[in-house]
Structure 1
């Protein structure tokens, strides 16, 4: 078991990497940190920590794109998402999750495959049925791992993909309100412990540094090649997480 003091440094360093990836690829903070946080925290605490740290980044993005947010378009999927994720969080806190690391590994592997091969190929219609399905799937995954982004990205791209600023503003607003509610649920259900909450502070600092570093190099790197590296990293991490769950 890790002593507590080094966890501040680990969280700080991991969030530098997460912030860097988020600023250079436009996604991936939660995915990246959830490769490492479960190495020294229980999965539910790790997902809660990831969601809390991400809130501060989402606040800055929502403020930046506030003029373009399509408020009405975010309400219905947000309600479905919050109902499902709330149920998932409260159920997860009271059941045996000894094998959940295996499923986290599987999910990381599926995300890598989806982003590498199917992200640009899957086309859906933006209607209430699709919104409910995407929001429900995201709510379940977010409740367990705090990585509920991909299904909602599919939906909001179908809805607002031709209007980049509206898409960015609306999806960041959606994730802000859902992360706030999910973080509240994790605290009230006892998932997030006092010490875990303290790790938010080095995480925010690390995230900020990572974003600043990413902003400086984003125009100097081939984004497609960098994304391929991220996909391979995710796939390898998923496989290793699955294997490590047996030991």
Structure 2
């Protein structure tokens, strides 16, 4: 049963990641805490998705812009480095509720505002997105929704969006995994779970790639906003 849960979580996570550009660990964190401790579940989820994110980054490598990705990553990573130590200190239940409320509010705003999805954010709003994303990535391995909105606002096509957000998550996966290994959260005991999860995630990515090739950015935006809202509802009630 443990292997089945792991395979299902990894496949669905990769499928969602390939279609919306983010959300793999959100999906996996619905399943993995039932078979793993919270901190290990977040760490393993991030490593499992490395193969999926790498595949998508290579596929859309010509759209990747380092100048667009590096500045937000520096802010994001600095906060994540600090927050990865806080899971044993802070009331994570309250934090999950706060994140859930924010994501639901953003979903409603972007769904019903005709200009919200195409406008560029002021620097201070973009910085808030980066700080919040980095904070929750360090705690739960979940930093995608707000960064998806950030990169979506800068993109003019589906490949442009996927190339930069997947490149961002690839750098993030390498960095935050190194932090977790250094802090003893991940070790050699997790390798079998990671390998099985990666194989399932590769299949999910292949399915998602076939589907996403038929869609453009305007088609996918409602799905992105909807998934952000569903993520928020999950954090509020589960």
Q: TM-score range by the shorter chain?
A: 0.7 to 0.9
* Mapped partners of 2:141, 2:58: distance in 1: 22
Q: Which is further off, 33-42 or 190-199? A: 190-199
Aligned length: 230
Written as runs of structure 1 = structure 2, the 5 A alignment for 1:226-237 is 234=231, 237=234
Structure of greater Rg? 1
* Mapped partners of 1:197, 1:106: distance in 2: 33
- Superposed CA deviations along residues 29-87 of structure 1, whole A, max 9, x for unmatched, are 22111111122222221111111111111111111111111111111111111111011
Q: Which is further off, 121-130 or 183-192? A: 121-130
Secondary structure of the residue aligned to 2:161 is helix
Written as runs of structure 1 = structure 2, the 5 A alignment for 1:1-247 is 6-92=1-87, 95-96=88-89, 99-101=91-93, 103-104=95-96, 107-108=99-100, 110-112=102-104, 114-115=106-107, 117-120=108-111, 121=113, 122=116, 125-126=120-121, 128-158=123-153, 160-214=154-208, 234=231, 237-241=234-238
RMSD value, Cα = 3.2
* Mapped partners of 1:226, 1:49: distance in 2: 26
Does the CA-based 8 Å contact 2:52-2:205 persist in structure 1? no
Does the CA-based 8 Å contact 2:133-2:143 persist in structure 1? yes
Tell me the TM-score normalised to structure 2 length.
0.79
- Stretches of structure 1 lacking an aligned partner (at least 5 in a row): 1-5, 242-247
- Stretches of structure 2 lacking an aligned partner (at least 5 in a row): none
